[in-house]
Amino acid sequence: MRNISEFYGSPAPDFCEDLQAIANYIFKTGTSPDLSLFADNHELFHPVEMIDSITNMRRAGHHIFFIRVGEVPLVFKFFADFGGHSLGRRIEFYLQNLVRDPAFKSYQNAVRLYQANVPALIPVAYISKPSFLSRKACFIYHMIKSSESAFDFLESDVRQEEKDQLMEKIASLVTLMEQANLYQPDFSLGNMLLADQGDGNLNPVIIDTDDILEAKFSRYPDCIRYRLVFFFLRRLKPNLHLSEVFIRKYMGSKYNSGWLKLWVFYRTGGFNFVKRIKKSIRGVRNDY
C-alpha cells in the first residue's frame, strides 16, 4: 500500500519528498537507522543528519529521532512496532492501532493548538504506511530550542519568585487551551519545555500532544467544570506553595482553599484508595 501523508503549512514539494523518504527508510530499518548510508543510496534534495534519538520510550509505543533536514532541525516521532517487546505488548500495540491512529491524533492535536495560538510544538507532517496486518506512522514537528523542562526548572535552585512566575505562565497556558476547548489529561511539568518565543523570556511550551481532548466544559456550572479540569490536571504536581500560586492565577476571584484541597486529593489517588495505600507504603507524601 502507498503512504498516506499530510503536510502542514504547504512546505516545498522537494522537502516533502525528503521527509517521506526518511520516514520510509526508518519504517524499514527500525530503531537504529544509519542516515549516512541512507543518504549515500538515495537521491535527496537536502542533506540529512541524525542529531539524537530516544528509543527507550518503546514501552509507550513510540520512538523519537531528532533529524536535521537541510537547515531545519525536526523531530520524527514514530508510532510503530519495531520489536523489542513481549508478545503480549506487541498484540496490545496491534489492537490499539486497529481502532485509532495515535500519530495522526498527535498531528491533529498539534494543529489545533497551533491554530489556537497555544504555545506548543509546531506540526510539520503526518506520514503513515498502512498494511493489512499493521500500521506504521510518523508525526513530524519542529524541534524546540530548549535546555530544560518546566520540571527541571522548578527543581533547580533559581529564585522562588522565578518559580512562581513560571507557575503563573502555566496557569495562563491552561486558560488559553480552555478558551479553545482543548484539555490535556497527561498535562505534566515534564511535558513542557521552556523556550524563548521571541519576547526574551523563557515560556512553557507543550511537547506532548498525544492525548489532548476537545470538549466544551464551559457550558457546565463552575462546581462541575472545575472538578473536571482539576481531574485532568492531576499529573501536574508542583509543591504545595507552587500549587497555590497556580490555582490562584488560574481561578482568580473564584479561588478558595477547598479547590486546592480537591486538586491535591485527585493528584494523590482520588477515590482509588488502593493507590493511596500503595503510595503511603512507598513513603510518597499525600499532602501535595
pLDDT of 5: 86
pLDDT of 288: 41
Report the distance separating Cα 153 and Cα 206, nearest Å.
15
Last residue of a domain, one of 125, 142, 159: 142
pLDDT of 39: 74
pLDDT of 280: 60
Residues 135 and 156 occupy one common structural domain: no
Burial class from Cβ neighbours inside 10 Å (0-12, 13-18, 19+) for residue 113 reads: buried
Q: How many CB atoms lie within 10 A of CB 284?
A: 12
HEC string of 118-173 equals: CCECCEEEEEEEECCCCEEEEEEEECCCCCCEHHHHHHCCCCHHHHHHHHHHHHHH
DSSP-derived 3-state class of residue 196: strand
Does the residue 259 lie in any domain?
Answer: yes
**pTM to 2 decimals?**
0.85
Q: How many helices (H) and strands (E) does the chain have?
A: 10, 10
Residues 258 and 209 occupy one common structural domain: yes
pLDDT of 127: 92
Residues 6+ apart with CB under 8 A from 11: 124, 125
> Which segments in the chain show pLDDT lower than 50?
284-288
Cell 533536514 belongs to 69
Last residue of a domain, one of 109, 142, 175: 142
**Strand ranges inside the chain, DSSP E:** 4-7, 48-54, 63-69, 72-79, 123-130, 135-142, 182-183, 192-196, 202-206, 213-214
Please name the amino acid found at residue 8: Y
pLDDT of 287: 45
Report the distance separating Cα 26 and Cα 107, nearest Å.
19
Residues 127 and 191 occupy one common structural domain: no
Residues 189 and 268 occupy one common structural domain: yes
Residues 109 and 217 occupy one common structural domain: no
pLDDT of 17: 92
Does the residue 127 lie in any domain?
Answer: yes
Question: Hey, what's the cell of 141?
Answer: 514537528
Cell 510544538 belongs to 121
Tens of pLDDT, residue by residue over 119-174, are 999 999 999 887 666 678 899 999 998 889 999 999 999 999 999 999 999 999 99
Last residue of a domain, one of 95, 116, 142: 142
Q: What pairs with residue 149 in β-bridges?
A: 193
* Number of domains into which the chain is organized: 2
Does the residue 287 lie in any domain?
Answer: no
